Copies of this chain bind each other. A is one copy, B any other.
Amino acid sequence: MSEKGVILLSGGLDSATVLAYAIKKGFQLTALTFNYGQRHSRENNSARDIASRYGIDLKEAKINLSDLIESSLTGYGNVEHRRLADIESRIPNTYVPARNIIMISIAAGLCQTIEASTIFIGANALDYSGYPDCRPEFFNSMEQSINIGTGSDGKDRIRIEVPLQYLRKSEIINMGIKLNVPYELTWSCYEGGDEACGMCDSCQLRLRGFMEAGVHDPIKYSKYPEFYKK
């Protein structure tokens, strides 16, 4: 029987790519998506569509983080827009305190329940918004914490795999194209509109990635940033 894994599937480009990667590696996957009161809960629909396309089981965790944790993504103020060149300068107001900590914690409980060995997460630390819980040292520490906390110190040890960690967005996209990832089903935009806004960090990083990869982004944008040339 193949090894079991849990994939944190937001519905975005990165996690969709990791899903395809983990399936290619032979894992029997369960997807875990989070409805935490995010303004772009539309990403949950994308997660469902992607899981369905791959025929894998999807579980949805519902948490009322918007009552507890302040972020522009949980309804406190507007998503800030800034120039791509400024993205690395500081942590933006789209940062949701402890989000990856919380998601990995719940994934760890699910792993222990279904006897999965591996948590897959699409975080990356190159073309990203500078969130502290996307840094490699966080995943190392968190892997230790979940293993001590679930008593999985032996051969049932749970691993956190972050395959995109050191890849640029364009490299992720090239990897995904080879794996036939259905990028038309993904949703990256922080706003919850009908079309992606093209202006938030997430849209800009995505569009630059497609541009650098020389590939057309199949989703619709209501606006394009200045740097973008189709």
Binding site for B on A (CB under 8 A): 32, 59-65, 67-70, 91, 96-102, 104-106, 108-110, 112-113, 132-133, 135, 137-138, 141-142, 144-146, 148-151
Contact = CB atoms under 8 A, between A and B. Distances in A.
Given A62-B63, A141-B141, A141-B144, A109 B149 contact: no
A70 B110 CA distance: 8
Given A133-B149, A141-B145, A151-B91, A97 B68 contact: no
Contacts of A144: 141, 145
A133 B65 CA distance: 23
A104 B104 CA distance: 12
Contacts of A137: 148
A108 B97 contact: yes
Contacts of A99: 109
Contacts of A105: 98, 101-102, 104-105
A139 to B, nearest CB: 9
A145 B138 contact: yes
Contacts of A150: 97-98, 101, 132-133
> 4 smallest A-B Cβ distances: which pairs?
A132-B151, A98-B109, A97-B112, A133-B149
B97 A113 contact: yes
Nearest to A67: B59
Nearest to A59: B68
A106 to B, nearest CB: 6
A98 B63 contact: no
B101 A145 contact: yes
A45 to B, nearest CB: 18
